[in-house]
Protein backbone atom coordinates (compact mmCIF):
# COMPACT_ATOMS: atom_id res chain seq x y z
CA UNK A 1 0.00 0.00 0.00
CA UNK A 2 1.32 3.37 -1.01
CA UNK A 3 -0.31 6.58 0.15
CA UNK A 4 0.78 9.90 -1.32
CA UNK A 5 -0.34 13.33 -0.30
CA UNK A 6 0.52 15.87 -2.95
CA UNK A 7 0.78 19.46 -1.87
CA UNK A 8 -0.12 22.61 -3.72
CA UNK A 9 2.99 24.15 -5.21
CA UNK A 10 2.77 27.73 -6.43
CA UNK A 11 6.02 29.54 -7.06
CA UNK A 12 7.34 32.17 -9.42
CA UNK A 13 10.79 33.43 -10.26
CA UNK A 14 11.44 36.79 -8.59
CA UNK A 15 13.24 38.08 -11.69
CA UNK A 16 10.76 36.65 -14.20
CA UNK A 17 7.38 36.40 -12.46
CA UNK A 18 5.55 35.95 -15.78
CA UNK A 19 7.49 32.81 -16.72
CA UNK A 20 5.30 29.70 -16.77
CA UNK A 21 7.12 26.45 -17.56
CA UNK A 22 3.90 24.75 -18.66
CA UNK A 23 3.12 27.43 -21.22
CA UNK A 24 6.52 28.88 -22.08
CA UNK A 25 8.78 25.82 -21.91
CA UNK A 26 12.43 25.57 -21.00
CA UNK A 27 13.41 27.37 -24.19
CA UNK A 28 11.92 30.58 -22.83
CA UNK A 29 14.24 30.69 -19.80
CA UNK A 30 16.10 33.99 -19.98
CA UNK A 31 19.86 34.13 -19.43
CA UNK A 32 20.01 30.63 -17.94
CA UNK A 33 18.08 31.78 -14.86
CA UNK A 34 18.56 29.19 -12.11
CA UNK A 35 15.12 29.76 -10.56
CA UNK A 36 13.30 29.43 -13.89
CA UNK A 37 15.28 26.27 -14.70
CA UNK A 38 14.32 24.84 -11.31
CA UNK A 39 10.66 25.60 -12.03
CA UNK A 40 11.08 23.73 -15.32
CA UNK A 41 12.63 20.78 -13.44
CA UNK A 42 9.72 20.70 -10.99
CA UNK A 43 7.20 20.91 -13.83
CA UNK A 44 8.86 18.09 -15.81
CA UNK A 45 9.10 15.84 -12.74
CA UNK A 46 5.45 16.52 -11.94
CA UNK A 47 4.54 15.48 -15.49
CA UNK A 48 6.61 12.32 -15.08
CA UNK A 49 4.99 11.53 -11.72
CA UNK A 50 1.53 12.04 -13.19
CA UNK A 51 2.32 9.60 -16.03
CA UNK A 52 3.65 7.04 -13.53
CA UNK A 53 0.53 7.34 -11.35
CA UNK A 54 -1.69 6.93 -14.42
CA UNK A 55 0.30 3.85 -15.48
CA UNK A 56 -0.02 2.40 -11.98
CA UNK A 57 -3.79 3.00 -12.08
CA UNK A 58 -4.03 1.17 -15.41
CA UNK A 59 -1.86 -1.66 -14.12
CA UNK A 60 -3.87 -2.17 -10.94
CA UNK A 61 -7.11 -1.96 -12.93
CA UNK A 62 -5.79 -4.71 -15.24
CA UNK A 63 -4.83 -6.84 -12.25
CA UNK A 64 -8.32 -6.46 -10.76
CA UNK A 65 -9.87 -7.33 -14.13
CA UNK A 66 -7.66 -10.40 -14.52
CA UNK A 67 -8.51 -11.53 -10.99
CA UNK A 68 -12.23 -11.11 -11.74
CA UNK A 69 -11.85 -13.15 -14.97
CA UNK A 70 -10.02 -15.92 -13.11
CA UNK A 71 -12.78 -15.97 -10.53
CA UNK A 72 -15.44 -16.21 -13.24
CA UNK A 73 -13.52 -18.95 -15.05
CA UNK A 74 -13.23 -20.95 -11.85
CA UNK A 75 -17.03 -21.10 -11.69
CA UNK A 76 -19.30 -20.61 -8.74
CA UNK A 77 -18.18 -21.40 -5.25
CA UNK A 78 -19.35 -24.97 -4.56
CA UNK A 79 -20.43 -23.87 -1.09
CA UNK A 80 -22.96 -21.47 -2.60
CA UNK A 81 -26.42 -22.85 -3.14
CA UNK A 82 -28.54 -22.15 -6.17
CA UNK A 83 -31.65 -19.99 -6.23
CA UNK A 84 -33.18 -22.07 -8.98
CA UNK A 85 -34.78 -25.45 -8.59
CA UNK A 86 -34.18 -27.97 -11.31
CA UNK A 87 -37.45 -29.45 -12.57
CA UNK A 88 -37.23 -32.87 -14.08
CA UNK A 89 -40.28 -34.28 -15.76
ZN1 LIG B 1 13.88 33.45 -13.75
Q: What's the distance, CA 59 to chain centroid? A: 10
Range(s) of the domain holding residue 40? 21-73
Please give the pLDDT value at position 52.
95
Question: Is 15 part of a structural domain of the chain?
Answer: no
pTM: 0.71
Nearest to 5 by CA among 37, 53, 48: 53
Contact in structure between 30 and 16 (CB atoms under 8 Å): yes
Q: Would you say residue 81 has pLDDT above 80?
A: no
Question: Is 36 part of a structural domain of the chain?
Answer: yes
Number of domains in the chain: 1
Please give the pLDDT value at position 85.
76
Find the range with the poorest average confidence among 8-12, 22-26, 30-34, 68-72. Answer: 68-72
Query: What residues have CB less than 8 Å from 18, skipping those under 6 apart?
Result: none
Question: Is 65 part of a structural domain of the chain?
Answer: yes
- Taking the centre of ligand 1 as the mean of its atom positions, its distance from the CA of residue 46, in whole angstroms, is 19
- Taking the centre of ligand 1 as the mean of its atom positions, its distance from the CA of residue 76, in whole angstroms, is 64
Question: Is 63 part of a structural domain of the chain?
Answer: yes
Nearest to 3 by CA among 56, 61, 82: 56
pLDDT tier at 82 (50, 70, 90 boundaries)? confident
- Taking the centre of ligand 1 as the mean of its atom positions, its distance from the CA of residue 22, in whole angstroms, is 14
Question: Is 29 part of a structural domain of the chain?
Answer: yes
Question: Is 31 part of a structural domain of the chain?
Answer: yes
Please give the pLDDT value at position 84.
77
Contact in structure between 44 and 18 (CB atoms under 8 Å): no
Amino acid sequence: MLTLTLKLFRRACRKHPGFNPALDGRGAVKGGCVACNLLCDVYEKHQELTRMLDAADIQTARQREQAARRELAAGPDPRQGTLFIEVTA
